Amino acid sequence: LEEQYRQSQKMESVGRLAGGVAHDFNNMLSVILGAAELSRRKLEEGEPIDAYLEVITNAAKRSSEITRQLLAFSRKEVVSPRPLDLNQLIRESNKILARLISEDINLSFTPDPGLWLVSIDPSQVDQILMNLAVNARDAMPNGGRLSIETRNLRLTGDCSHVHPDAHPGDYVQLTVSDTGQGMDKATVEHIFEPFFTTKELGKGTGLGLATVYGIVTQNRGFINVYSEPGQGTVFRINLPRLADQADGASGQEQAAPALSG
């Protein structure tokens, strides 16, 4: 719990800081970009210095992209949760996801046809899917399988073995798994921290999973991660079932070991 508290404090201060800095920083970047592009126009084609200016331009563009992500992370977006069928949303996102990953990654979706509804802002689910898909893609540079699954989950009794944040009740479980490079235990411990990244400079911001974590906890859900170096990674996201929908419908009782969360 203390760890969770520290995590959310950290997220909050990071958010405030980021929001303040990113805006000014972005203005300076457009000055750099503009000046570099003007200089390039003044040069004759093929002058050696043009290559340096191109490096400046590309780095500034990449920096703009990072500040854009920072702003998105820090912004307290107004969310409007509504009853949502995750299966339907995933089907609608499928094309975008397929375009996001490379051709030698096989994308599959296995929906539970009797899936319960959840209450969440659809754009938040999109963000979860995008971030997990991008990470899966980066973990599978030589191709592999990206599988998305949904199912109902009913937790009863003491469920602290499932996750410290898990309470008895009905959940809709979204599983996103890949056959990529996986992670060792030390890495898994840090993945939800803002700015934690193992990707090379300029490739990752370390904000993807911090965003996912924020969305899941905001919606009173919990997330488990199972990963094995060389084997792949499984993210299991559990969102509470839409409250007034509960009837006697059957869910699977389950007790998977919680590795992290």
Residues that bind ligand ADP (CB under 6 A): 131, 135-136, 139, 178, 180-183, 187, 191, 196-199, 204-210, 233
Q: Closest CB to ligand ADP among 17 and 246?
A: 17
Q: Closest CB to ligand ADP among 94 and 197?
A: 197
Find the largest Cα–Cα distance for the chain.
Answer: 75
In whole angstroms, the minimum distance from the beta carbon of 246 to ligand ADP comes to 32
Nearest residue relative to ligand ADP (C-beta): 208
Q: Closest CB to ligand ADP among 168 and 202?
A: 202
Interacting residues of 218 by C-beta distance below 8 A, sequence separation 6+: 79, 124
Cα R_g (the chain), whole angstroms? 21
| In contact, 156 and 240? CB cutoff 8 Å | no
In whole angstroms, the minimum distance from the beta carbon of 117 to ligand ADP comes to 27
Q: Closest CB to ligand ADP among 120 and 210?
A: 210
Query: Rounded to the nearest 5 degrees, what angle is found at the Cα of 193, between the Cα atoms of 190 and 194?
Result: 145
* Long-range contacts (CB closer than 8 Å, 24 or more residues apart) made by 35-38: 36/60
In whole angstroms, the minimum distance from the beta carbon of 176 to ligand ADP comes to 8
In whole angstroms, the minimum distance from the beta carbon of 131 to ligand ADP comes to 6
| In contact, 108 and 91? CB cutoff 8 Å | no
Provide φ and ψ at 136, rounded to 5°.
Answer: -60, -45
In whole angstroms, the minimum distance from the beta carbon of 218 to ligand ADP comes to 17
